[in-house]
Structure 1
Amino acid sequence: MTPSSANAATGTPPGHRQRRHDPDRRERLIDVALAVIAEHGVAGTSHRRVAAAAEVPLGSMTYHFAGMDELLEAAFTRLAEHAADAFDQAMMQARTPVEAVEAIVGLITGTVLNRREAMVATYELYSLAARRPEIRTITNAWMARSRRALERHFEPDTALMLDALIEGLTIHRALSLKPMPVSTVREAVQRIVAS
């Protein structure tokens, strides 16, 4: 079938390409943007680079996102929501205080919060939030969800301390050449819970 006969069959005027049906394009662009941020950093992320990685026309970026700020906010919100969902899931599965402690140890030492791409993107989020207070709404919402999940098992003050410990130990283990052993992580969590 020639392009002109294809146009006739679909009712598309001659000389116009039919637009590919891609209803989830905005969501896919957000996911691709996170991968680009993890690979190139915020400074190296552009509409052009994301469009190329997603294999879409550059115009799709400006159609879906008013500017880079909107794209970054959408990408980092997605990152925070995925991490918070995984955190919620881990804490919901715990039925006892002992299981809750083990869930926390698993979050710190396992792969849920420690996938390389997600970790690198998270550090980019932290760096941007440190410079731009409006981005802290994303990190604040993320921390609030984490604390609510912990409060299923612990008092609010304990949940606050555990949230900070999880954040700090996750970073420490990711960056250390000799990560803290799981037994030491468990002891740190148990000390806070017992206090």
Structure 2
Amino acid sequence: RKVAQHADVPLGSMTYHFTDMDELLLEAFTRYADRIFKRYSERVLAAHSIDDLIGAVVDLVHRELVQSPEDLVLSLELYTLAARKPEFRRITHRWMRNSRSALERFVDSETAFDLDALIEGLFIHTSLDQAARPRTDTERAVRRLLT
């Protein structure tokens, strides 16, 4: 009811398109993951060198992945659902596979895996830390991994 009201659509149309809440959440989180990956890939694929990639990763961690406070909440909600339910895990697997594929334009697959994990961890730590983490700390960590 709340979703239909917020979307300004009749309640009947919700039950026509979605059989239950999980189906609705799957669609919503799939769209969310696609939107975040679009920002991620645009930033990464615009890089032309390792130094550009380092700058792109710093921007991702400090700006692109958290354009709004809702982005952090949605990411963490998706991780939680993925930990509990395999159908949501498919969304995170696709997200990670796509992210690593974009990174593999610059680095081998093992480094892409490590860098993707570092980005996720830095994003969470930077977003939740009580003290603001400087961009230079993120740059140092990424540079250490890539050089």
TM-score bracket, normalised by the shorter chain, equals over 0.9
Runs of 4+ in 1 over 3 A off after TM superposition: none
Equivalents in 1 of 2:91, 2:79: separation in Å? 10
Aligned pairs for 1:145-184 (under 5 A) are 145-184=98-137
Alignment match, 2:37: 84
Whether the 8 Å CA contact 1:97–1:153 is kept in 2: the answer is yes
CA contact (8 A) 1:172 1:179 kept: no
Q: Which amino acid aligns with 1:144?
A: R
| Equivalence map 1:17-166=2 (5 Å) | 48-110=1-63, 112-114=64-66, 115-166=68-119
CA-CA distance at 1:91 after TM superposition: 1.1
1:108 and 1:166 in contact (8 A); partners too: yes
Q: Cα deviations across residues 14-34 of structure 1 (Å, max 9, x unaligned)? A: xxxxxxxxxxxxxxxxxxxxx
Give the TM-score normalised by structure 1: 0.73
Deviations 1:93-116 (A, max 9, x none): 111111011101110111x21121
Give the unaligned 5+ runs of structure 2: none
Which one has a bigger Cα radius of gyration? 1
Alpha-carbon deviation of 1:67? 1.5
RMSD: 0.9
Give the letter aligned to residue 79 of structure 1. Y
Q: Deviations over 1:105-150 (max 9, x none)?
A: 110111x211211211111111111111221000000000000011
- Name the % identity: 47
Measure the CA separation in 1 of the matches of 2:105 and 2:4.
Answer: 42
- In the alignment, the residues of structure 1 paired with residue 43 and residue 144 of structure 2 have an alpha-carbon distance, to the nearest angstrom, of 20
Cα shift readout 1:44-95 (whole Å, capped 9, x = no counterpart)? xxxx110111122110101111211111100111111111111110011111
The structure whose RCO (Cα within 8 Å, separation 6+) is larger is: 2
